[in-house]
Chains A and B, each alone.
Chain A
Amino acid sequence: QSVLTQPPSASGTPGQTVTISCSGSSSNIGFNDVYWYQQLPGMAPKLLIYKNNQRPSGVPDRFSGSKSGTSASLAISGLRSEDEADYYCAAWDETLDGGVFGGGTPLTVL
C-alpha cells in the first residue's frame, strides 16, 4: 500500500489527452513539491516534472503537471505510442521523514 495513491492503469488513443492522478495527504503533497517520473519498459526512470509543474529541458510540452491541495496530476496531451510507460509521482513526507512514491500507473496507448 503506497503512501501516494495512483490509478492502477490508464489508457488512451493516439492524439488524445490522458490524465494521471496522485493523491496524498497534508504531510506530503499538501506540504511539499511533487515530482513525476516516466519509466519505459526495461529502462531506468526518467524525470518528467519537478516542483509540481516544471519540465526539465528536453521533456516535450505535451507533458504537464499540476497540484491542488493534497493531490497532483500529470497530463499527457497529443498521446503517442512512445508514451506507453509506467508513470510515478513522488514527494517528501514530513511525518515519515522520507521520500514516498506512488504505486505507479502503467499507460497503454491503444
Chain B
Amino acid sequence: QVQLVESGGGVVQPGASLRLSCVVSGFTFSTYAMHWVRQAPGKGLEWVAVITYDGSNKYYADTVKGRFTISRDNSKNTLYLQMNSLTSEDTALYYCGRKGSAGGWYFPFLDYWGQGTLVTVYS
C-alpha cells in the first residue's frame, strides 16, 4: 500500500536551517510529482511547494520562496524540503503528498498524504 513517512522536524532557533525528508513506498515514486503542505498549530492548510516527477521544475509559495528548496532523489524514493532562515512563522506540521494522476502536474491534487513532521521555531 502507498505510504509516505516524513521526518526531520524539530525545535530550532530563528535563522536556523532544517532539512525535512519524506520516504515513500508502495508506488513508483519516479513517475509522480510531489507536494509539501504545512499547517500551523490550530490553523488551516498552506501549500508550500511542488516538484515534477524528475525534479526538473518546481514552484514555491511566496512565503517560502528564496528560503526553501524542494528536491528529490528518485533512487532513494525520497522527497526533501531544505528550509533556511527559519522564522516563527514557519512553525507548523509539514506534510508531504503525492500529486494525483489528473490535471496539471503542479495542481494541489494530493491523493496520498503522510502523517506530517513538526517544525517549531522559537527562541
Q: Type the 1/0 row for A29-52, where 1 means its CB is closer than 8 Å to any CB of B.
A: 000110101010000111100110
Known: A35-B107, A99-B35. A47 touches B44 (CB 8 A): no
Contact A33 B103 (CB under 8 A): yes
Closest chain B residue to A98, Cβ basis: B61
Q: Type the 1/0 row for B112-123, where 1 means its CB is closer than 8 Å to any CB of A.
A: 111110000000
Closest chain B residue to A92, Cβ basis: B107
Q: In the complex, what residues of B have CB within 8 A of residue A97's CB?
A: 59
| Number of inter-chain CB pairs below 8 Å | 80
Is A68 among interface residues, defined by CB-CB distance under 8 A? no
Q: Which of B44, B61, B115 contacts A102 (CB 8 A)?
A: B44
In the bound complex, CA of A92 to CA of B116 (Å)? 22
- Give B residues with C-beta under 8 Å from A: 35, 37, 44-47, 50, 59-62, 95, 100, 102-104, 106-116
Query: 30 A-B pairs, CB-CB below 8 angstroms?
Result: A32-B103, A33-B107, A35-B108, A37-B110, A39-B45, A44-B114, A45-B37, A46-B113, A47-B100, A47-B109, A47-B111, A50-B102, A50-B109, A50-B111, A51-B103, A88-B44, A88-B45, A90-B45, A97-B59, A98-B47, A98-B59, A98-B61, A98-B62, A99-B35, A99-B47, A99-B61, A101-B37, A101-B46, A101-B47, A104-B44
- Give A residues with C-beta under 8 Å from B: 2, 32-33, 35, 37, 39, 44-47, 50-51, 54, 56, 86, 88, 90-92, 96-104
